[in-house]
Copies of this chain bind each other. A is one copy, B any other.
Amino acid sequence: MIRPLGDRVVVKQVPSEEVTKSGIVLPDTAKEKPQQGEVVAVGSGRLLDSGQRVAIDLKVGDKILFSKYSGNEVKIDDVEYLILREMDILGIIV
CB-CB under 8 A for A5 and B86, given A67-B72, A73-B27, A75-B25: yes
Interface residue A61 (Cβ < 8 Å from any Cβ of B): no
- Distance A3 CA – B63 CA, assembled complex (angstroms): 10
Identical copies of this chain, number:
7
A65 touches B26 (CB 8 A): no
* Number of A positions contacting B (CB below 8 A): 52
Chain B residue at minimal CB-CB distance from A52: B51
Q: Determine how close the nearest CB of chain B comes to the CB of A84; give it in whole angstroms.
A: 10
Q: Which residues of A line the B interface, CB within 8 A?
A: 1-6, 8, 10, 22-27, 29, 31-34, 41, 43-44, 46-52, 54, 57-58, 65, 67, 71-78, 80, 83, 86-87, 89-94
